[in-house]
Structure 1
Amino acid sequence: MSDTGPRATQQIGLLAQSALGRIEVLALFPLLVLTAEFLGFQNIALVTALGLSVLLAVAVLLPRRERSTAIKSVRTHGKAPLIEALAEIAQFDDRDTVCLHLEIDDWPKIVDMWGHDSSQFISQRLEDRFRSVLRSDDLLCQLGDNRFGIVLGGMSAARLSIRDTVATRLLNAASEPLLLHDATLRLTVTIGHASLRRRASDVPTATFKAAEAALSAAKLHGPGSVRAYTTGMGRAKSAASDLASEVEEAIHSGAIDVWFQPQVCAQTGELSGMETLARWQHPQHGLLGPSEIMSALQSAGHMALLGQTLTHRAIKVLAELDAAKARVPTMSINVSADELRDLTLPDALASELERYGLRPDRLTVEISPDITTQDLDDAILSNLKTLKDNGHKLDLEGIGTGAIPLSILQRFSVDRVKIDRALVAGSDADPERDRILRAIVSLSDAMGVQTVATGVETSHEATYLAGIGCSHLQGFGIARPMKPSQISPWVNARAAAGKTIDLEARRAG
């Protein structure tokens, strides 16, 4: 019985903390004092004023209860705060929450292109944006340079519609243009989310891991994807690591093969070339695209092996198309920085082309922007010059996601620049993208360089891009990537139909 008094005092203090934390309760005290004075009840006014002072003192002196969530302005790192927040909400049967994992896409490329300091600035800016679309009782923690975790404040039910709404807000926040060193970046994030896993023995840890598994599953579907956790997703993370162990055998067996996506002249609609793309027909995971393949290749260290295999296959297919009277003007192949450091590359390409009786200008070498932003070593410089001297055309991809390397365009006489799909998408209805695209096309024209708009999805975009002077178009709105066996029928059917782009007819329509 001896502790009854302290317990009662503590309960009064907790009630005071709760009550005095509400602005409407605090506003009531002055009203009571003034009313008592007006009616002549000075004693009541005095008791009310003294009572407020006593309650405030008790509330301040007693230990405060910890908040269940973090303040957004405090930067928090690691998963421990997330686990604690999940554990606290899980104590209440009538409360639910959402755990989300976010990852900035193409992070290795961002670091290679912009360096450590700038990439950290990018990460911090995105973290600030994520905070701006969350509520004050939502918790955001940084789990790595390009990964974040979020636990939403307690709610009655974490329905899928609510989770998708939050994910959409985060996606939109990430996609807003970001200015870096006078360049405009357009970034994407991949998101996985899960509600409380109440049936698990360790609810907080199980929920955290469920969101992590959902993120792994989302990454298999490419940049900008969102996935909610479903039973069995825990296998997605192990599946990603399995891909790295399987990739070498897949290259040798032909499971990873080359597909092709057409490029057409923006003004006439005539076929102007095809880009080679890697596709992996996996027995368990189905058809996998470049993002999954590149991730597995980088983990396994087989980038060069794939490049050699796909280049050989592309040249062989080009010769077969010539023999079938389905002529493709040029095939473009992507060459990584590691391949460009190999001084045998120009001779290897020359030998392959000679073997099939093809001229060097039928093979376009495509280089990524991360190569041009590095301090180019002697091997890369020598190879780029030799490739150009040998008669190959050079394409520079990724224009619109960073600074345009004018020195590279001039120094190596780049033939075409490829405008990134992130800038092209919806450009026909976006004034800001319109200005940027017109500037790129105008600058390219002034330097005698052609432009290829990638990611063209609709006829409206195609007409708009042709109208501003873009040279070539590529994307699902033109044609989807196709197997080698599908190219000849597609080319012949297109030629037989006389399919070209009639800009005047489109404008009239």
Structure 2
Amino acid sequence: MAPITLSAETTSQVFPFSILIEGDGRIAFVGPALAKVAGIETLIGKSIFDAVTIRKPMRLDRTQALRDVLGARVVLEVPDRNGSGTLKLYGMACSAEWHGRGHVLIVLTPGVNARQFVECHGLKISDFGPADGSADLLPLLAMQEDMLQDGKRQAAKLRAARDVAEHLANHDVLTELPNRRALMERLSSLLRQSPLAVMHVDLDKFKEINDTFGHAAGDAALQHAARAIRLAVGPQALCARMGGDEFVVVLEGEQTPVQLSACAQRIIAEVSRPFVFQAESLIVQASVGLAIPRPGDALSADDILHHADLALYEVKRTGRSTTALCTPDLLAAHSEFQRISADIRRALTEREFVAHFQPQVDARTGGLLGFEALARWQHPERGTLTPVHFLHVTHRAGLIQQVDAEIRRHVLDTLRHWDAAGFRVPKISLNVTTSDLLDPVFRQVLLWDLDSRGLDSSRVVLEIVESVLYDESPTEIAKACQDLADAGFVLALDDFGTGYASILSLVKLPIAIVKIDRAFACGVARSKSQHALTQSMVGMATSLGLTVLAEGVDHADDVAALLDMGCGSFQGYYFAHPMDAETALAWVIEREYPQESLRRRP
């Protein structure tokens, strides 16, 4: 290949990234663009082998000078004048005449690195040679860079959205505390690592605030409780909202019952501090169940939370705004509860719940007023059980309405059977719970049960315990009582004197019968104070036009004393024990009450 003849001007314009090398290997000329990025002082006059790094051809022999690179592809790395490393260029070597002498010309281009040269050293398109394809790449590279940056921005947005979604998935929006999902994951991990203790916090009076001041006030109460709990336990504890008005606190490390109880008391104290909502000073309180896993228990996260929940239930059962610790005795009691509740469910399917009947009589005439239906469980192994063996479990397990419905079915079937046999019992008394009164369909179901058996509602006395009058829903209770009275049912107030009913309650509610509790009736003839109290209750009820019935009467002298007070209706062992349906009917026949009071009138 014949050498090309070059001038400095031509070389600068056509080959701005070129290097001109003399025969002895020294650099005689550097193109202006290359001089900008590498610095002319670092190249001119120096040996090509010292000034740059030749990557291709590899293993170039200095003794061969540059003859071996003529016509070959060359890759060089030149020093960056900014001192930040080297710059890679690509090109080709050829023979050239410069001022009448032979030289080697290495024509270079940044290639795909053109954007780096532009951004880092301020080169412009005019700095590239007319035949340098690198310049043509610049718009494409710029577009590529824009796309890359846009991709990065989109990726950043996606990461941010993912982080937000992850935060929302693991945190309660209202309180910013970890939610149940996050708690379970963290608690499961902690149980495998170190000792810990768990506190289950439930807010007291929260429903009252929600119902009185609205849901916004309820939200404010939850936020207040979350802040109070975090303040009480410190930043190292794990606090989470389980949902509703329930929170869980996990403390890492060994905790004694005394230490844990002290921490729970701090929570109760902080939560109980008043908080302000719309210029109103409100107070919410807390109950706390405690659980400390014992070494070797091998409990899961669900297990330890269940233990804390059992302790919390114990607090709710015995009193609020305090603490209780889950103990082996409490676990054993719960196991017994589970066993009995499962047995009750089985008994409901087998129809083992029946009614026994205790007569209510008029001691002045000897006439039968009716029967009170009392629940009994005909257990296949334990015999006939009274409510003391199962009533507390039915309430706690939420089965009381099912058991009551089964008892009612048996009572009404028995009443229909007696009617069909020609014996018309005047009235039958059924116990009614708060759950029944708050059930919107209870009245309709009861009326349907009567209609389907051809029975009249006026023959049914519904006994309401005195404590029902002070339930958390007094307005609903009062309306339900009035609706039942309007439907023809007779309402009786049971256990009168043992609760908190007031004279005003007796006036406002459609009560027709007051039942003096056995605590006052039994032994009234032998106690002056008991006699005085009972006489005042009988006098108050009769002055209001109510029928008074004394229950739990076991002795003749008590009957006589109550008769003298003006109470003529009785129920108790003195007259008869509770009996099954067949025995009760036999008792009626044997007593030979006046037939006109028993036989069905045509």
TM-score (norm 1): 0.50
More strand per residue:
2
Greater Rg over alpha carbons, structure: 2
With the length of structure 2 as denominator, give the TM-score of the two structures: 0.42
